[in-house]
């Protein structure tokens, strides 16, 4: 989230750029008009039977409105009940009970982490939601050695993993931009951020998983054990099982981060430099970028946390309302490596063609950089500007098509970036080792993540309205389809199975086979609307 995964200093770019000029309003929740096929009586009967189970946690039928909301704040699907598990066996017993009742129970189950889905994917209308943050089980355990790793609960937040592993001088290799997300949530999508060109997404850095399938089985899986389930669950959108535990690869953690931003006026130069940096062996540790349309005063906004290399030149810079492209880079280091790090950075910057007056730099702690978005989110919460609709659109675009995309979208469809930031950066999947996971990417080795991280203003009727942003998103998708750009959605959202088939392409048949094998009654993750009925009825 972004990630992402899904989820970003990008939040600072999101709303400090746009929302701070607007009065806070109560979030406007949309209810989907999708026809509900679950017989309410049967679902209630199933919930009543679940109350007879002996659990370490508990089942709640009251005050469950929180489980009908998510970060997207667009869809609102109330469940009949919420399970608060203490152990993996609470989840297993519950799902096994529903499975053994057969397709007649009609009850669907959604695993909910920290609630950062965008379009109701972790909701279950008239169904059961499992609160994964209640899962306790074994404590987080860090293992050092030649191949260090950490064992964590699927409901654990990445921010907690960061703080615990740092006690041992270690940290995960790949992150999302926002760390207040659960392990199970990001691994069910992929977990993409600016480190993905080096280490792959988060699913590329997992040694082992514990999963509860749609039959209620508790299975341990890895590349060498139950490997089909392991690959299916990673990026599998929760369709084959609920991730209850994960073993995550670690590396030595740096103490400090050199954080750099530069601007470009030409898209071709911007992308050339990005692709050059991700092709190097000795390069930056994080590479991202974002688009700025019709915005002024940007460099002055940066001065609160970044220092210009040449203050006088920076003060003379004028964007003239042009579309600009920001390249954002970091280099990790320890204090005794400062001199060598600065020389490496200087050499890499000399090979780039950015606008010289726009070079801004900062040095921050490793934790401060990784947790940059949370700091921004707290400021927005204080102003009542966090719980608003977030109609985000995340696309994976082949390198060969990204210039065509930019000309049409940044040059014509969008008039400004006042609704939130637009991220754009390339990844090189030749360095990935994810194999036949469920995560779908463009066929080309290098592709771009383009994320439109828009925030709508409740009750607004203008360009900040939810309706206007959704219309804009549709225009972008329609253009991509009509121009045959062969994009893939990240954090995908479709309304029909035909669209899902197109999304998975040649992997659709394998996806269906895995669904039939691990969740034949299609109990899990109904919010994606991939499988509406049991597999025997649909296929």
Any idea which residues carry the catalytic annotation?
116, 177, 288
Q: How far apart are CA 123 and CA 110, in angstroms?
A: 6
The DSSP output letter for 412 is I
Check: CB of residue 6 under 8 Å from CB of residue 181.
Answer: yes
The distance of Cα 466 from the centroid of its chain, to the nearest Å, equals 21
What b/e sequence results for 479-500 when a residue is b if at least 16 CB atoms lie within 10 Å of its CB, and e otherwise?
bbeeeebbbbbbbbbbeeeeeb
Q: Give me 505's structure tokens.
A: 């392409």
In DSSP notation, 464-475 reads TSHHHHHHHHHH
Phi (first) and psi of residue 488, to 5 degrees: -130, 140
Closest CA relative to residue 59, chosen from 112, 114, 130, 121: 130
User: Alpha carbon of 154 to those of 135, 190, 429, 478: distances in Å?
Assistant: 8, 14, 26, 36
Helix (H, G, I), strand (E, B) or coil at 18: coil
Check: CB of residue 277 under 8 Å from CB of residue 329.
Answer: yes
Q: How far apart are CA 122 and CA 43, in angstroms?
A: 18
Q: How far apart are CA 128 and CA 51, in angstroms?
A: 12
Q: How far apart are CA 29 and CA 213, in angstroms?
A: 32
Pairing of strands 206-213, 286-292: unpaired
Element (H, E) at 325: strand 324-333
* Count of Cβ atoms closer than 10 Å to residue 519 Cβ: 24
Q: How far apart are CA 237 and CA 527, in angstroms?
A: 10
In sequence order, the 6+-apart residues with CB closer than 8 A to the CB of 76 are 29, 30, 31, 68, 69, 120, 123
Closest CA relative to residue 185, chosen from 142, 125, 242: 242
Angle between helices 497-504 and 508-518 (to 10 degrees): 110
């Amino acid at each position: 989230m972004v990630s992402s995964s899904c989820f970003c200093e990008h939040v600072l770019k999101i709303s400090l750029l746009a929302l701070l000029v607007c009065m806070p309003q109560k979030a406007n929740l949309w209810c989907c008009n999708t026809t509900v096929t679950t017989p309410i009586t049967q679902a209630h009967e199933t919930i009543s039977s679940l109350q007879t189970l002996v659990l370490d946690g508990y089942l709640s039928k009251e005050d469950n409105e929180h489980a009908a909301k998510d970060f997207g704040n667009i869809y609102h699907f109330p469940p009949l009940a919420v399970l608060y598990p203490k152990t993996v066996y609470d989840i297993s017993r519950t799902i096994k009970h529903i499975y053994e009742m057969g397709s007649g129970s009609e009850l669907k189950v959604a695993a909910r982490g920290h609630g950062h889905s965008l379009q109701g994917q972790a909701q279950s209308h008239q169904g059961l939601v499992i609160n994964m943050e209640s899962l306790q089980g074994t404590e987080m355990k860090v293992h050092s050695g030649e191949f260090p790793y950490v064992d964590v609960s699927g409901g654990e937040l990445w921010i907690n993993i960061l703080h615990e592993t740092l006690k041992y001088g270690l940290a995960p290799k790949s992150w999302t931009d926002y760390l207040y997300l659960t392990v199970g949530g990001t691994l069910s999508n992929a977990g993409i951020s600016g480190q993905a060109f080096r280490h792959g997404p988060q699913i590329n850095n997992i040694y082992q998983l514990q999963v509860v399938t749609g039959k209620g089985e508790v299975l341990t899986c890895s590349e060498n054990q139950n490997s089909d389930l392991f690959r299916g669950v990673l990026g599998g959108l929760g369709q084959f099982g609920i991730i209850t535990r994960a073993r995550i690869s670690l590396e030595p953690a740096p103490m400090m981060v050199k954080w750099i931003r530069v601007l470009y006026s030409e898209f071709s130069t911007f992308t050339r430099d990005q692709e050059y940096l991700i092709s190097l062996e000795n390069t930056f540790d994080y590479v991202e970028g974002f688009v700025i349309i019709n915005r002024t005063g940007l460099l002055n906004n940066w001065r609160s946390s970044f220092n210009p290399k040449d203050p006088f030149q920076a003060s003379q810079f004028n964007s003239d309302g042009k579309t600009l492209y920001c390249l954002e880079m970091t280099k990790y280091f320890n204090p005794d490596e400062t001199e060598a790090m600065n020389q490496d950075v200087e050499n890499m910057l000399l090979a780039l063609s950015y606008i010289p007056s726009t070079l801004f730099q900062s040095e921050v702690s490793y934790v401060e950089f990784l947790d940059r978005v949370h700091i921004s989110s707290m400021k927005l919460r204080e102003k009542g500007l966090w719980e608003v609709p977030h109609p985000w659109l995340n696309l994976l675009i082949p390198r060969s098509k990204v210039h065509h995309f930019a000309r049409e979208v940044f040059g014509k469809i969008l008039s400004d970036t006042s609704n939130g930031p637009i991220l754009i950066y390339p990844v090189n999947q030749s360095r990935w080792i994810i194999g036949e996971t469920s995560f779908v990417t463009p066929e080309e080795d290098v592709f771009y993540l383009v994320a439109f991280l828009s925030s709508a203003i409740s009750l607004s009727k203008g360009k900040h309205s939810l309706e206007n942003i959704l219309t804009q998103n549709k225009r972008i998708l329609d253009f991509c389809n009509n121009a045959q750009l062969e994009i893939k959605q990240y954090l995908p959202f479709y309304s029909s199975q035909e669209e899902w088939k197109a999304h998975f392409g040649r992997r659709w048949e394998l996806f269906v086979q895995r669904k039939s094998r691990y969740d034949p009654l299609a109990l899990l993750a109904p919010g994606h609307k991939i499988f509406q009925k049991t597999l025997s009825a649909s296929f």
